[in-house]
A and B are shown apart, each in its own frame.
Chain A
Amino acid sequence: MIDLISPFLIYSAIQAATPLLLAAMAGVFCSRVGVFNMALEGQMLVGAFVAVAAGYFTHNAYAGIAAAMVGTMVFSVILAAGSTWFRGNPVVLCIGMNLLASGMTAYFLRLVFGVSGTFTNPAIPLIPRLSLPGLAALGPWGAVLNNQTAVTYVSWLIVVLCTILLFRTPIGLRIRGAGENPEAAVALGVDVDKLQFATVVVSGALVGLGGAQLSLGAVTLFSEDMTAGRGWIALVAIMLARDNPVGAALACLLFGLTDALGLRLQSFGLPNQIATILPYVITLVALVAFAKRKRQLA
């Protein structure tokens, strides 16, 4: 048990939480502005693929990250325009987008790299890890926070920025209002369609960043459907936190911990397949534990 809770476990948990966290921040904004985004899974997959592809061709991890953010924003236009000006059903749009992302990435994986399944190549760059001198001096538990990728540090900064943006700026006020009562926002001169469009597209960049961390952060590869439900777990984090960025971030950290714990338990002899289902089981348990009990007769 002593061995189980090691600094390395926490280090891995923070690393595993990063993509979830970024997706959750995006999801919080979409949900607040009134577009329930169930396409996080597909967006993250697109981000992961574009990051690998751009990283491979430029040999530069940051170019990969930038491309992932832009690429995911472009992909997000489907939901952004579809749910606003084209009055599509957001649930259907998101389900379609998830399948499209899965098909599209697999298609271009074959077309561009000529492989199916998993693509890995020495030319794919790893996102550099940052060594912060102050943290290294703190001993093994200081190392928990040290040597994470730049994306990880930025992602926690983003949590803070998102909280400020949402609760302390005019645009945040408009986002919160537009989602709660679009008619009232329109009556006060806020173009809700435009605001929703912009929020969904811009937040797409965050999911793309998360995708890049997934494919270039701990590993340097792309494999089909490698997001493996992370977008959905991020969505659950948002639901548990009732659209609060900090709460969602903490929930993501919890899910990251279960992910790391699962991997860790493998070295204690837990079968691989059982270890990988741990995050989903914990997520489901959390959903039941925090669910609003229905007080209503049939």
Chain B
Amino acid sequence: MTMATGRPAQIWISLRRPAITGAVGIVVAVLVLALSGVDPLRALSALVYGSLAPANIADTLNWAVPLVGMTLVAAVPLRAGIINLGGDGQMVVGALAAALTAIYLPVPGPLALVLALLAGAMAGSMLALLAAWGETRFGVPLLISSLLLGYPAAGVASYLVSGPLGDLGSGLAQTAQLPLDARLPLLAGVNGGVVLIVLLCVLVIFIDRRTVFGLETQVRGENRLFASYVGINAPLQTLRLMGFAGAIAGSVGAILVLGAFYRFIDGALLSPGYTWSGLMAALVGRGEPIASVLAGFFFAALQTGGFAMQRETSVPRVFTTMMQAVIVLVLTLRFGGRSGRHD
């Protein structure tokens, strides 16, 4: 028997986790910084300034474009309880497909741009679908196969751009530059792909809130057995969710190539760790799109601030990566409550 609790109690319960997480996060940050021999206050204020001062907003947005995109990549399947660890591979194949389309397809620039985006989305989607199909057809856990598929995908891409399809003149593992008219324009210093990411966010939120598919996804996330009992086709749902997530990842890869690097550079997409930050943001939001996107934006600000912090103090900016992990870890813990074992 659960008795209805009063309003103040409910507000406290819903705020308790974020409050504890925030407090623990700040304490850990201060401790790590102090142990690193840095004045925590100075470092943290540099971090905040570096991310949110008007002059730095463009940097934050440029970081947020891929990161929020990759947040959706993780959040879309997570809403149904599926963890997609394959964002890296899906992003890389999308980026490569987009670069090759834009460079080699003999069509006018703007058309090449559109086709490149579509090719990126398709390629990412195919790789994600491969992992999903492995689970629905062969029972290979998606959790692991999605991740493991990323290594061959990145390896093959790396081979292609360092050999057969590479810009051999540059001596680096990269493709040739994209034609000027097949690039995404900058909007006030921000990757033009920002428009696409905003549209994708709106689309995901709309699907989640308003569609049958979104509702069924949430039902599955809450209770798998019930979902199959009321006739929700779980394998088909897995394929759709992963196909969609992979398409977003491929689009993010394409947006980075078309709007930031203007070529495919081996390793450049993966080293900032967008996939992992995005996954952390999605876990913070438990797959709920609005909360996840907000968390993704917060993490983007955190990481952009990291550059300023590194400049102003001696703190390496990977500090912000650690903090993301700390936030996720603290959020999953339960304090005080002793009801039942793992959920």
B32 to chain A, nearest CB (A): 8
In the bound assembly, the distance between CA atoms of A97 and B155 in angstroms comes to 25
B101 to chain A, nearest CB (A): 22
Q: Are B155 and A273 closer than 8 Å at their CB atoms?
A: yes
Given contacts A90-B342, A103-B325, A273-B159, contact A294 B139 (CB under 8 A): yes
Given contacts A91-B83, A95-B283, A294-B139, contact A103 B333 (CB under 8 A): no
Total count of chain B residues near the partner, CB < 8 A:
53
A83 nearest in chain B by CB position: B342
A293 nearest in chain B by CB position: B139
Given contacts A97-B325, A100-B329, A182-B341, contact A277 B151 (CB under 8 A): yes
Residues of A within 8 A of B235 (CB): 298
A91 nearest in chain B by CB position: B83
Given contacts A95-B283, A294-B139, contact A287 B328 (CB under 8 A): no
In the bound assembly, the distance between CA atoms of A103 and B306 in angstroms comes to 13
Task: Tell me if B's interface is mostly helix, strand, loop or mixed.
Answer: helix
Q: Are A106 and B333 closer than 8 Å at their CB atoms?
A: no
Is A118 in contact with chain B by the CB < 8 A criterion? Answer: no
Is B57 in contact with chain A by the CB < 8 A criterion? Answer: no
Total count of chain A residues near the partner, CB < 8 A:
50
Q: Are A99 and B139 closer than 8 Å at their CB atoms?
A: no
When the two chains form the complex, which single residue of A277, A288, A293, A294 contacts B152, counting CB atoms closer than 8 Å? A277
Is B262 in contact with chain A by the CB < 8 A criterion? Answer: no
In the bound assembly, the distance between CA atoms of A239 and B276 in angstroms comes to 24
Given contacts A106-B316, A281-B152, contact A298 B236 (CB under 8 A): yes
Residues of B within 8 A of A277 (CB): 151-152, 155-156
In the bound assembly, the distance between CA atoms of A236 and B36 in angstroms comes to 37
Given contacts A99-B321, A277-B152, A284-B145, contact A107 B316 (CB under 8 A): yes
Given contacts A86-B333, A104-B322, A277-B152, contact A287 B145 (CB under 8 A): yes
In the bound assembly, the distance between CA atoms of A287 and B149 in angstroms comes to 12
In the bound assembly, the distance between CA atoms of A107 and B151 in angstroms comes to 24
Q: Are A92 and B316 closer than 8 Å at their CB atoms?
A: no
Is B158 in contact with chain A by the CB < 8 A criterion? Answer: yes
In the bound assembly, the distance between CA atoms of A111 and B144 in angstroms comes to 33
Residues of A within 8 A of B335 (CB): 86
Q: Mark B260-300, 1 if CB is under 8 A from A, else 0.
A: 00000000000001001001100100000000000000000
When the two chains form the complex, which single residue of B151, B155, B273, B280 contacts A96, counting CB atoms closer than 8 Å? B280
In the bound assembly, the distance between CA atoms of A239 and B316 in angstroms comes to 38
Is A11 in contact with chain B by the CB < 8 A criterion? Answer: no
Q: Are A88 and B151 closer than 8 Å at their CB atoms?
A: no
Task: Tell me if A's interface is mostly helix, strand, loop or mixed.
Answer: helix
Q: Are B151 and A229 closer than 8 Å at their CB atoms?
A: yes
When the two chains form the complex, which single residue of B155, B234, B343 contacts A89, counting CB atoms closer than 8 Å? B343
Is B162 in contact with chain A by the CB < 8 A criterion? Answer: yes
A290 to chain B, nearest CB (A): 9
When the two chains form the complex, which single residue of A99, A102, A291 contacts B140, counting CB atoms closer than 8 Å? A291
Residues of A within 8 A of B233 (CB): 298
Given contacts A86-B334, A106-B316, contact A273 B158 (CB under 8 A): yes
Which residues A58-85 have CB closer than 8 A to chain B?
A: 78, 82-83
A190 to chain B, nearest CB (A): 14
Is B332 in contact with chain A by the CB < 8 A criterion? Answer: yes
Is B326 in contact with chain A by the CB < 8 A criterion? Answer: yes
Q: Are A106 and B328 closer than 8 Å at their CB atoms?
A: no
When the two chains form the complex, which single residue of A92, A232, A273 contacts B148, counting CB atoms closer than 8 Å? A232
Given contacts A82-B329, A82-B332, A95-B283, contact A235 B144 (CB under 8 A): yes
Q: Mark A250-265, 1 if CB is under 8 A from B, else 0.
A: 0000000000000000
B-side residues, CB < 8 A to A, are 36, 83, 85, 134, 138-141, 143-145, 147-149, 151-152, 155-156, 158-159, 162-163, 233-236, 273, 276, 279-280, 283, 314-316, 318-319, 321-322, 324-326, 328-329, 332-335, 337-338, 340-343
Given contacts A103-B324, A229-B147, A284-B140, 8 further A-B contacts (CB under 8 A): A83-B342, A88-B333, A89-B342, A97-B325, A99-B324, A102-B276, A106-B316, A288-B134
